Structure 1
Amino acid sequence: MSSSQKALLGGAAAFALLIAGGSAGAQTLTPLPEPAPAPAPVTDGLGEDGFYLEADMVIRDDKNDTITARGQVEARRNGRTLRAEEVVYNQGTKIVTAKGNIVLVNADGSTQFADELTLDEDMSAGFARGFSMRSEPNIKIAADAAIRRNENVNELSRAVYTPCPVCAEEGGDGSPTWQIKASKVVQDKTKQLVYYQNAVIEMWGVPVAYLPVFWHADPQAGRRSGFLPPKIEVTRRRGFSYEQPYLQVLSPSSEVVLSPQFNADVNPFLNLTYRKRFYSGYLEARAGYTYERDIDGNGERFGERTHRSYLLAKGKFEIDDKWDWGFAAERTSDDFLFDNYSVDSVYEQRALFTPDDRRLMSQIYAIRQDSRSYLSIAAVSVQGLRLEDNNRTFPTVAPLVEARWEPESAVLGGRLRVRASGVVLNRDQAPTTTILPTPENPRPAGVDSRRATGEASWRRDFTLTSGIRVSPFVQTRFDTYNVSDLPGVSGSDTITRGLGVVGADISWPFFKRLENGSIVLEPVAQVAISPDSDLDPRIPNEDSLAFEFDENNLFRANKSPGFDLYEGGQRLNAGGRARISMDDGREATLLVGRSFRTERDDLFPPRTGLQHKASDWVVSASAKPVPGVSLFTRSRLDNDTFAIRRLEAGADVSHKRGYTVVRYLRDALDINGLEQENFDVYSEFFATKKWGVSFVGSRDVENGEWRRRDIGLVWRDDCLRIDVIYQRENQYVNTPEGVKFRPNDSVQLRLTLATLGDTGY
């Protein structure tokens, strides 16, 4: 290659390096992302210093000291490709000029266009006319002129930004759904921001907002401070409500989101979220605060003004390759604070244990785990927000210890597992007491208990020549309880008991291959023998009050989910499983079974259907009859009359036009001793490509009322989604007369602009 060709090619490559990455776009802000992977190495075969130049003609003009390439000029370097009709390199001034249908394809796939381009000698500055670009995710930018001031600052004049399609649909005028126009756009890579001057936001070609100054995060920045999508509501409690989150990046590993909520009828409410990543873990804390009177279901304020707040925090940290520790802190000043101010994502798992609905659970724990053992140590405190809750009756659990160990080698040819558990419960007030403490009538104390358990289990599997599988097992357990504050008993009592069971699981699977699938039929039986169950009245049943007899525990030797209650006696668990699977993905399963006992066991609650010699029937089934449709049902039928004692059924349907999720539950006797019947549905359906409706509903069939109804109208295209949602929710609310059950109505507007924010239920 001649020196003139090298000089020309160097100028062309300089142009490629100059403009690549000079994009000004927007992005969805995601908190604390993982570090971006290193860019993939260039694979064009040219290496880091290699050049490629192709043109119809190359002219060297020694008089004017220029080199000119004309006619379908193409230059490549470092994975970037430059195409133009003419490229001129002035060896004296070290200026490169390109003209005519300039196209630059970058290594990341983004494409940039220009009519004319000029670069300086050291390639740190340049100027382009008729500039435009296209990059992921579907971002398009056009400008009359583009100026690269230096390596970190790019400037566009009379620019337009949009992620929407710009080609006219049938009957359309070609205007994008939304776009931002500005007299000047500046991309500052040092600050990782894109600034706009005199910005106008247009929707369907109509200006809807004018902002003298506007900015958002650089598309090339991992994360950057800025406004997040707002939440707009009209509710009965607060009137018109506008919540505007703002993300402030504090460091590469921490950030805070401030979300002031401005309400027409009540004082503002400030939400704050702090996130921090450490080398060994993370911390996240949500908090809210207001100074206001109480609010009833109609938005009327009553009572005294006071400080009202909440805290929802969690963290998890690695101590070493085996030990972790973490915590969850959940507290609120008001039972109805989350309802009054529409605080989302409250009752979810933040640590080891998941709280019930309308209950908060603070925890701290440590876990050690390897391939053969597990150890957890935890402490738990609960705050109840339900109408019937009395926080004095919730025990403080400290500590709660669980340990498991399994030897690496087999023991007597089978698998041995050793388990230990311990818990200390301290309760301020007995759960069944409704008497409030007074000087004359002191607060009745709740029962405090301490338990230590050691357990070992052994199992071995055999397969006979006939195909019958036999799995004998042995389980032994020893419990020690120490209880105090028993009614009518002074001091404390210590109770010990030994428990055990021996038995075997027996199954005989039959397999048949079909033309386009297969069938598996499997009769299953479990024989278990243990001493008769006998619950000492001094042992409080704390962990086995609520459980369902279903297909999940039908073949468990001890169906009790906790330690306080233990299944005893001689029993036979019998049933059958069937499964049909088709090669095209269709399938169906069925399980039917029940439990038989030699003696009645009244320790099981009547609602379980287990206390009789012959238990209720357990039936469960699932099916995928066609692609996109999943069905399931599980039920428990009376042992004599086959009446439905419990039924749960549902369907999941997905289609290119939307989805529907349906759940139905009927329980003849729930944990509170009441009949329950509920129906829930979640659905979204698009009648056309752009117009759709959404519905979220929860109906109490037993009482004949809807607990919640969300009805939404949706419009969407490739770059915009608008949801208008009417929500009616029946809730317990505070009133001057006391707690009442009232409906709460609200209207929500959700606007989602592609690359500037996303949304969803």
Structure 2
Amino acid sequence: MPRFLSKPCPSSFSRLWLGVLCLCAPAVLRAQTAGPPAPDAEELRLKPVRTLGAHAKPDAKPAMVLSAKRLSSQVDQQASAEGEAELRYGELLLRAQRLSYDQTEDLARASGDVQISHSGNRFRGPELQLYVSRFEGEFLDPSYFFSQTGGGGRAKRVSFLDAKHVQAEQGNYTSCPIVADQEPAWQIMASKLDMDFENNQGVATDAVLRFQGVPILAAPTLSFPLGSGRKSGWLPPKIGLDNRSGFEFGLPYYWNIAPQRDATLTPFIMTKRGVGLDSEFRYLEPEHKGQINLDLLPTDRVADRSRWALHLMNDGQLLRDWQYRVRAERVSDDDYWKDLPDRVQSQTERLLIADLQLNRRRELSWGELQAYGRIQQWQALQGLDPSVQFQTPYQRTPQLGLRLTTAADEAVLAGYSPWGRSARLEGAVEVEYNRFDLSPDALVEQLQTGQRVHLLGHVSAPMGGPGWWLIPRVAVNAAAYALDRPQLDGRTSMNRTIPTFSIDNGWIFERDTQLLGRELRQTLEPRLLFVNTPYRRQDSPNFDSAPKDFNFDSIYTDNLFNGIDRVSDARQLTAGAISRWINPQKGEEVLRLGLVQRYLFRDQQITADGVPQTQRFSDLLLLGATHLTERWWADGTLQYNSETGRSERTVLRARYSPGPFRTVSAAYRLARGQSEQVELAWQWPLFGQGPLPGQPRAAANAGGSTCSGAWYSAGRVQYSLRDKRFTDSVVGFEYDAGCWVLRTGIERLSTGRAETNTRLMLQLELVGLSQLGSNALKVLRDNIPGYRQLSADRSASLEAPYD
């Protein structure tokens, strides 16, 4: 047996690397004894454990590498290592003070500060026996860390059943650091822990969940997922408290029906209203996918009636490539959105849609043909107060249409420069039939219903070069109406045809410049849009048109209205320009300034308020945005009326973010004669030292047992200067102890001029396990610009160092 020597290092003792001992390939060892390698032979080097075997063939057996200060070996029999012994085999890294390996039985025995790393999971204890290739064996009194969950613990004994199954006896599980003679801040204690990584399931037998030494949950068996996959079982309870429903407690059960289907059933109790059930069913089939939510409150003691909410969301494919889409939401009564706001999913909480759409697209050599149909209905939650009631949109029962579109250059039609593109004719034609009915919740003054057939068409010839574009365009809007009730002049039928001609021209200029000592590239992007639309009488009912918001996008359109029923007459020129300062290395926009204004060559008769527009110059739109430093962002828009000399609409925003979990933003919004409000939002540490992003997990979790965490404040406050009152606001506090985070706060939602819904938020996050209580994290994330979850950077990683 050869002896391997090395020169001693200046340190107190030297580490003797013994080369590569391939016990599974003795020929390699024999080659080592034959003499020194040839000068051009590739030098053998030990590689980190995660790169060994990375490029091996799927069926190839990994090489085994053994190193230590002292090593003795019998070829094809056994090897003994002593002093910082290390064994590597595929993804397995085994370290110990003393280690022996019996090759005939494939059995490794280790003692003295034994450490194992396998597939990112880590174990440490005094004594181990392990069948290496099968990864079967026993570990006495070890501590462990599971990379998939970011948690670990300590047990009396750990049995390795194979690489995907681990069993711990008399063990615990926590994401807090394991400190001798000190109980973690939270832990699951069990007589047996079964970790099935193959099926993403952990099962604790005779389990007790303890927080700060206090049992908060006990169960004969407690199961939990080991990663982001799904499994059936009880989820953490949902807890809420508000001034309308009182204290609410819900206990969700997740049912993993099949790989493509699941359901969640949540029985709940409200101290003021009673007992109910929330349910959610999801499916993902090859040609269909969707979600159904049904929330039931059979007997509401406050309202003295049954309450329910239904939400459908389905998409799929039918025969002959027909696509369908369903979006529907209905609730039991007009006050549901006030009393149970969490169960209303619509963005317009007082206007709920039921929408069924069918469409079929066919690609042609010259463009696309699309046929479509639709049925659209509304539920308006009007209430009994006439001052807050509103006109409901018309229902489409049905809508049928056919659309032909040429193969257009979408970048040109969107107003971007068509680099090196030659001109060609492009266009589209749309023919559509609609039957308009009233919702059952429509106001009594809403009477008119009827039918409409319309035709929309346009043809354009986009042209341009590397820094410019020119798009002449001719469009037509034609419609015919058949009404159910006569107009004031007695007519029940009418029609009109409105042509529009426009020319859109834009340029892009660039130059290198400096700003505040920084080398930047500046652009100048002027744009002109000329529109000529003749006046046509439009006294038909307005079924689906609404004025567009006046902003930098809508001012470059040829019609002031969305929809079909109203087309603004115009002979006008829109002129504007934007200048950008861009970091050429990063492509980052540092500063943007812009202005735009519209000029009318004649009075405009068709306007949003019905009053003819005689003012030649429109309001001036100004915009600005800056990101001069990594810490500061600011942007704003201003609609300035030159005749009155004041702003009609203003939005100003700024945000300061000097570091992780430190952000403050402020906003001011003005709509003259409608609203004026200020807003302040923040996330900021108050006191204490919390974990830092990128900090090793053990250090990050240190606060879990030492109570040396940090307090943070987070919130958003809105104040109406017009009404002199606070509107929708949320204020919360967070305590980050490393392995657990506590969130508490108050959310205030306006449900009327004199009505509010105030909710108390309380959530305990056990990092690496689950979140208990109300969903305060979602509320903070949705309301605070730049908000970051305190525990986001503490997710486990396979790249975490072994220690």
Structure 1 residue 365 corresponds to structure 2 residue 357? yes
| Cα distance, 1:568–1:546 mapped onto 2, change above 3 Å | closer
1:479 deviates by 1.2
- Quick check: 1:229–1:752 contact (8 Å CA) kept in 2? no
Q: Residue 71 of structure 2 is aligned with which of 41, 48, 57?
A: 57
In structure 1, the residue matched to 2:569 is 568
| Cα distance, 1:91–1:691 mapped onto 2, change above 3 Å | closer
Q: For 1:694 and 1:645, locate their aligned partners in 2 and report how far apart those are by CA, in whole Å.
A: 32
In structure 2, the residue matched to 1:298 is none
Structure 2 alignment gaps of length 5 or more: 3-19, 26-49, 413-420, 691-709, 772-776, 780-803
In structure 2, the residue matched to 1:716 is 736
Q: For 2:195 and 2:611, locate their aligned partners in 1 and report how far apart those are by CA, in whole Å.
A: 66
Q: For 1:68 and 1:589, locate their aligned partners in 2 and report how far apart those are by CA, in whole Å.
A: 70
Q: For 1:278 and 1:41, locate their aligned partners in 2 and report how far apart those are by CA, in whole Å.
A: 40
- Quick check: 1:572–1:595 contact (8 Å CA) kept in 2? yes
| Cα distance, 1:519–1:102 mapped onto 2, change above 3 Å | same
- Quick check: 1:522–1:577 contact (8 Å CA) kept in 2? yes
Deviations 1:272-327 (A, max 9, x none): 11111112342111110012247xxxxxx25xx43321111212225699764221
1:458 deviates by 0.4
| Cα distance, 1:639–1:560 mapped onto 2, change above 3 Å | farther
SS of residue paired to 2:274:
coil
| Cα distance, 1:123–1:135 mapped onto 2, change above 3 Å | closer
Q: For 1:267 and 1:635, locate their aligned partners in 2 and report how far apart those are by CA, in whole Å.
A: 50
- Quick check: 2:461–2:473 contact (8 Å CA) kept in 1? yes
SS of residue paired to 2:295:
strand
Q: For 2:668 and 2:424, locate their aligned partners in 1 and report how far apart those are by CA, in whole Å.
A: 42
SS of residue paired to 2:554:
coil
- Quick check: 1:653–1:659 contact (8 Å CA) kept in 2? yes
Structure 1 residue 730 corresponds to structure 2 residue 744? no
SS of residue paired to 1:285:
strand
Q: For 1:431 and 1:334, locate their aligned partners in 2 and report how far apart those are by CA, in whole Å.
A: 11
Percent identity, aligned pairs only?
A: 16
Structure 1 residue 117 corresponds to structure 2 residue 128? yes
Q: For 2:156 and 2:162, locate their aligned partners in 1 and report how far apart those are by CA, in whole Å.
A: 19
In structure 1, the residue matched to 2:54 is 43
Paired residue type of 2:334: D
In structure 2, the residue matched to 1:497 is 497
- Quick check: 1:427–1:445 contact (8 Å CA) kept in 2? no
- Quick check: 2:282–2:291 contact (8 Å CA) kept in 1? yes
In structure 2, the residue matched to 1:18 is none
Q: Residue 644 of structure 1 is aligned with which of 644, 647, 662?
A: 647
Range with greater deviation from structure 2 (152-161 or 450-459): 152-161
In structure 1, the residue matched to 2:192 is 184
Paired residue type of 1:746: R
- Quick check: 1:447–1:483 contact (8 Å CA) kept in 2? no
In structure 2, the residue matched to 1:420 is 430
Paired residue type of 1:146: V
Deviations 1:684-725 (A, max 9, x none): 222233211122333333211222232211111432221111
In structure 1, the residue matched to 2:346 is 347
SS of residue paired to 1:549:
coil
SS of residue paired to 1:536:
coil
- Quick check: 1:501–1:530 contact (8 Å CA) kept in 2? yes
Range with greater deviation from structure 2 (110-119 or 390-399): 390-399
1:421 deviates by 4.7
Q: For 2:408 and 2:96, locate their aligned partners in 1 and report how far apart those are by CA, in whole Å.
A: 69
Deviations 1:215-258 (A, max 9, x none): 23341672112333333222222222112222111111111111
Q: Residue 126 of structure 1 is aligned with which of 137, 140, 143?
A: 137
Q: For 1:176 and 1:213, locate their aligned partners in 2 and report how far apart those are by CA, in whole Å.
A: 22
Q: For 1:329 and 1:548, locate their aligned partners in 2 and report how far apart those are by CA, in whole Å.
A: 27
Deviations 1:420-442 (A, max 9, x none): 1524142237999636xxxxxxx
Q: For 2:682 and 2:290, locate their aligned partners in 1 and report how far apart those are by CA, in whole Å.
A: 35
Deviations 1:344-383 (A, max 9, x none): 56124xxxxxxx3421112122344588537354332111
- Quick check: 1:397–1:426 contact (8 Å CA) kept in 2? yes
Structure 1 residue 657 corresponds to structure 2 residue 661? yes
Q: For 2:525 and 2:108, locate their aligned partners in 1 and report how far apart those are by CA, in whole Å.
A: 79
| Cα distance, 1:158–1:638 mapped onto 2, change above 3 Å | same
- Quick check: 1:609–1:615 contact (8 Å CA) kept in 2? no
Range with greater deviation from structure 2 (505-514 or 330-339): 505-514
Paired residue type of 2:770: G
| Cα distance, 1:210–1:578 mapped onto 2, change above 3 Å | closer
- Quick check: 2:570–2:600 contact (8 Å CA) kept in 1? yes
Q: For 1:502 and 1:727, locate their aligned partners in 2 and report how far apart those are by CA, in whole Å.
A: 49
1:416 deviates by 0.9
| Cα distance, 1:517–1:151 mapped onto 2, change above 3 Å | closer
Q: Residue 217 of structure 1 is aligned with which of 215, 224, 233?
A: 224
Structure 1 residue 602 corresponds to structure 2 residue 605? yes
Q: For 1:473 and 1:57, locate their aligned partners in 2 and report how far apart those are by CA, in whole Å.
A: 85
Paired residue type of 1:373: E
- Quick check: 2:251–2:266 contact (8 Å CA) kept in 1? yes
Q: Residue 266 of structure 1 is aligned with which of 266, 270, 273?
A: 273
Paired residue type of 1:358: R
In structure 1, the residue matched to 2:798 is none
Q: For 1:99 and 1:656, locate their aligned partners in 2 and report how far apart those are by CA, in whole Å.
A: 43
- Quick check: 1:187–1:218 contact (8 Å CA) kept in 2? no
Structure 1 residue 700 corresponds to structure 2 residue 716? no
In structure 2, the residue matched to 1:518 is 521
Q: Residue 536 of structure 1 is aligned with which of 531, 535, 538?
A: 538
Structure 1 residue 282 corresponds to structure 2 residue 289? yes
Q: For 1:316 and 1:598, locate their aligned partners in 2 and report how far apart those are by CA, in whole Å.
A: 48
- Quick check: 1:393–1:431 contact (8 Å CA) kept in 2? no
SS of residue paired to 2:751:
strand
Paired residue type of 1:666: L
Structure 1 residue 753 corresponds to structure 2 residue 754? no
SS of residue paired to 1:343:
helix
Q: For 2:325 and 2:51, locate their aligned partners in 1 and report how far apart those are by CA, in whole Å.
A: 37
Structure 1 residue 144 corresponds to structure 2 residue 144? no
Range with greater deviation from structure 2 (221-230 or 84-93): 84-93
Q: For 2:465 and 2:161, locate their aligned partners in 1 and report how far apart those are by CA, in whole Å.
A: 78
- Quick check: 1:393–1:430 contact (8 Å CA) kept in 2? no
Q: For 1:396 and 1:605, locate their aligned partners in 2 and report how far apart those are by CA, in whole Å.
A: 23
- Quick check: 1:361–1:383 contact (8 Å CA) kept in 2? yes
SS of residue paired to 2:562:
coil
- Quick check: 2:529–2:556 contact (8 Å CA) kept in 1? yes
- Quick check: 2:391–2:443 contact (8 Å CA) kept in 1? no
> What is the root-mean-square deviation of aligned Cα atoms in Å?
3.9
Paired residue type of 1:326: R
1:158 deviates by 2.4
SS of residue paired to 2:778:
coil
SS of residue paired to 1:179:
strand
- Quick check: 1:8–1:89 contact (8 Å CA) kept in 2? no
- Quick check: 2:453–2:480 contact (8 Å CA) kept in 1? yes
1:208 deviates by 3.8
Q: For 1:565 and 1:289, locate their aligned partners in 2 and report how far apart those are by CA, in whole Å.
A: 43
SS of residue paired to 2:745:
strand
Range with greater deviation from structure 2 (252-261 or 507-516): 507-516
Q: For 1:629 and 1:608, locate their aligned partners in 2 and report how far apart those are by CA, in whole Å.
A: 43
